[in-house]
Amino acid sequence: MIVQGPHIQLRTIRAADLDWLYDRVNDFDLRDPYFPLWIQPETSFRKRFEDDGFWSDDSGTLLICDNDNGRILGEIMRFRATPYWDSYEIGYRLLDPSVSGRGIVTEALMLFTYALFASSHVHRLELKIVPENLASRRVAEKCGYQLESTAREVLFSHGTHVDMVIYALLRQDAPATLDEALARLPH
């Protein structure tokens, strides 16, 4: 486990997770209308795990797991969208639609935000969200991310180019401790 909140924990991906996880990350039915459609070949998926366990200096994925039973609920990731910026872009998604609307992603983003600032020198975290994805925008705002701009027609998704709004959080505006991160969670 990397970090634990009241309902979920974030942990690294294990070899035992690979079959289950591969099936879900490529399942188009589990993608909401705002998540891009792409297929990850199994060979590159397994090679990435063998090479770095889905965690390197430039990118990384953690699993969102239920505290009570360890069940995998989703994934949250970070990557360098612009190589020369001192920032990471963050993406997230639920892999178990039955837990949607329960604050799982908000808790995961708050914990991930704390963990990234606590464990790296990065100064800025970004979220890029399709403007119509109101649920994801609410998650960003609940976690203190600020709306900065709109990037026009940058994502090809579901047969069309769509805009994305950019939210960001700077180190000085982020929770400095795990207790502070947990206190910022909606009750």
Q: In this predicted model, what pLDDT tens digit does every residue of 117-126 receive, in sequence order?
A: 999 999 999 9
How far, in Å, CA of 1 to CA of 8, rounded?
A: 10
Over residues 149-160, the mean pLDDT reads 89
pLDDT band at 35 (very low <50, low <70, confident <90, very high): low
Domain edges within the chain: 3-184
CA distance 174 to 159: 36
Give the Cα separation of 14 and 155 in Å (integer).
Answer: 31
Sheet strand arrangement including 72-79? 3-4, 8-11, 59-66, 72-79, 87-94, 124-129, 160-170, 146-157
Structure confidence by residue, pLDDT tens digits, 44-78: 999 999 999 999 999 999 999 999 999 999 999 99
Burial of 53 (0-12, 13-18, 19+ CB in 10 A): middle
Residues 17-27: pLDDT tens digits?
999 999 888 77
pTM: predicted TM-score of the whole model, two decimal places: 0.93
- What residue has token string 């942990």? 11
Backbone angles phi, psi at 8, to 5 degrees: -135, 165
Average pLDDT over residues 71-86: 93
CATH topology of domain 3-184: Aminopeptidase (3.40.630)
Local confidence band at 2 (pLDDT 50, 70, 90 cut-offs): confident
pLDDT (0 to 100) of residue 173: 97
